[in-house]
Amino acid sequence: MVCVRRYAGSWLLLMGLAATCAYASASYEQLIAKGTAELKSGDQDGARRDAQAAVRQDGAQWKGYALLGGALMNLKRYEDAADAFSRAIERAPAEKAGELRELRRRCLTSEESGTASSRPHPDVPAPVSQAEVVLWKSIENSNNGDDFRSYLRQYPEGAFARLAQDRLDAIVPREPEIWFEEGQKHHVDADFTTAHALYQRACDRDYADACEWLGGDYRIGRGVMIDAARAQQLFQKAAQLYQQGCDSGDLSKCADLSNLYRKGLGVAVDSARAVELAQKSCEGKDATGCLYLGIYYLKGEGLPVDINHAMELYKQSCDGGNGSACTNLGEMYFGKLYGVPKDVDQGFYFFRKGCDSGNALGCNELGFMFEKGAGRPADNSMALELYKRACERGNGIGCSNAGILYNAGKGAPSDPVQAARYKQKGCALGYAPSCS
């Protein structure tokens, strides 16, 4: 029989999720208990949110995924529920796996037999075919990477594509740099759950940048609950790895380590050490090292304040391809910062160079100049494109600005749907005014 009602056959499993686990933190268990109570009371969205929070906090445990699967199943999002139950099965003790497999089987049956009218959201993918289910069930426990490559070739957007990629990664590990780069793409899309999972994989393989980014999100609570101890642990690992890279001659790692000493992340604040590392990096023509050294001169951190020398270092860094340095120069010229005379043309030049070098803030500032007609004719269409480019690179202000223009019909016909989408992404990326 097609399962289109709330599933009640294994409530004992779902009600038992709040049992004490010696390896789980109290906050994780509190989320599970709260979500389970919501599941029982019929608040499926509340249960889903708490389950997702639990998964973000500790993706190695099974109960968060099982709770998520139960909520999604009751919301008739069977494909997503099956995916969640599959993840729970991979992590659950043997005595729970059988019940979880039965829940997943019912989801797959329901998804195959469901109709478009029964789905809660137009973006939910088409029902999974029986052929795909049969193929997946024939390989899900395989240890042959070719099996999962074959599945992904046939069903690149399939119901089990993420699971297939996970299994393939476990069998044939990819370079951690690739995981980090993929994590960055999800991060700028505000898909923090996926980004953090990829960062963790890369960090576990000693990729320092991934440890630092993950630590940064735990520090400020972006996509996860604030966890100062976890953040410190990740920063400490990043600092150790950066030190190893610096010692081996990788000057970019010296620059990264300099920034940690400057901010006291994973190491004690040490301005002299930060300056020493930035100088070493910059003298070796590393653009990021020159950027940090410029900051130290600009702010008087470990060095005497010297605005002119700071600007020279910014220019050296900008010419070396560092978009942040270019944007910093643009702000100094356009905003008359640190006593620099206002020069709209120089501001425009450096904002454009920063944007072209991949700096999201530079694109947003350039968009602002086009929107306001600063030093050139106003062009809302160009402003909108630049705001969108900034948003695509993870700048919440750019997302918000794009939403405002779409809402007002500036640069494009008025589009409330697009306006809402960009505003929501700006909010997800941490720009609070975009949340109203």
Neighbours of 434 (CB within 10 A): 21
Kindly state the tokens that stand for 188. Answer: 């700028």
Cβ pair 80, 159 in contact under 8 A: no
320/219 Cα distance (integer angstroms) = 30
Confidence of residue 8 (pLDDT cuts 50, 70, 90): very low
389-409 average pLDDT score = 95
Cβ pair 160, 151 in contact under 8 A: yes
53, pLDDT greater than 60: yes
Q: What are phi and psi of 15, to 5 degrees?
A: -70, -25
Query: pLDDT digit string (tens) for 59-111?
Result: 889 899 999 988 998 888 888 888 888 888 888 887 677 677 777 777 776 65
Please give the single-letter amino acid code of residue 230.
R
222/430 Cα distance (integer angstroms) = 8
Q: Which residues contact 376 (CB under 8 A, 6 or more apart)?
A: 348, 369, 370
- DSSP H or E run through 137: helix 130-139
Cβ pair 148, 171 in contact under 8 A: yes
- DSSP H or E run through 332: helix 323-335
Query: pLDDT digit string (tens) for 121-149?
Result: 333 344 567 778 878 888 888 888 888 88
Kindly state the tokens that stand for 136. Answer: 């997946």
22/188 Cα distance (integer angstroms) = 35
DSSP codes joined into one string, 52-104: HHHHHH-TT-SHHHHHHHHHHHHTT-HHHHHHHHHHHHHHS-HHHHHHHHHHH
Higher local confidence (pLDDT), 129 or 214: 214
Q: What are the C-alpha distances in Å from 342 to residues 4, 312, 334, 352, 377?
A: 65, 17, 6, 17, 19
Confidence of residue 175 (pLDDT cuts 50, 70, 90): confident
> For the chain, what is the mean pLDDT?
85
Cβ pair 39, 67 in contact under 8 A: yes
The DSSP output letter for 155 is: -
Fold for 173-248, please state it: 1.25.40
Q: What are phi and psi of 281, to 5 degrees?
A: -70, -45
Give pLDDT, residue 17. 44
Give pLDDT, residue 128. 63
271, pLDDT greater than 90: yes
The ranges assigned to domains in the chain are 11-115, 173-248, 252-312
Q: Which residues contact 156 (CB under 8 A, 6 or more apart)?
A: none
Least confident of 246-250, 367-371, 402-406, 429-433: 429-433
Cβ pair 370, 383 in contact under 8 A: yes
Give pLDDT, residue 95. 67
Percent of the chain with pLDDT over 70: 88
299/307 Cα distance (integer angstroms) = 9
> Among the ranges 23-37, 145-159, 196-210, which has the highest mean pLDDT value?
196-210
Give pLDDT, residue 127. 53
What is the CATH number assigned to the segment(s) 11-115?
Answer: 1.25.40.10
pTM score > 0.75 for this model? no
The DSSP output letter for 303 is: S
164/412 Cα distance (integer angstroms) = 40
Report, in angstroms and rounded to the nearest whole number, the Rg of the chain calculated over CA atoms.
25
Confidence of residue 6 (pLDDT cuts 50, 70, 90): very low
Kindly state the tokens that stand for 23. Answer: 């390896």
85/73 Cα distance (integer angstroms) = 10
Q: What are the C-alpha distances in Å from 239 to residues 187, 203, 242?
A: 22, 12, 5
Within a 13 Å sphere around the CA of 269, how many CA atoms are in the beta-carbon half? 4
Q: Which CATH class is domain 252-312?
A: mainly alpha
Residues in the chain: 436
Higher local confidence (pLDDT), 283 or 46: 283
254/311 Cα distance (integer angstroms) = 21
Give pLDDT, residue 1. 29
224-240 average pLDDT score = 95
Alpha-carbon 327 to chain mean position = 23
Alpha-carbon 100 to chain mean position = 29
The domains spanning 11-115 and 173-248 adopt the same CATH topology: yes
Cβ pair 261, 274 in contact under 8 A: yes
Residue 223, phi-psi category: left (phi > 0), alpha (psi -120 to 50), beta (remainder):
left
Tell me which residue of 234, 242, 232 sits closest to 204, measured CA to CA. 234
Confidence of residue 117 (pLDDT cuts 50, 70, 90): very low
Location of structure tokens 């942040």: 324
166-186 average pLDDT score = 84
18/23 Cα distance (integer angstroms) = 13
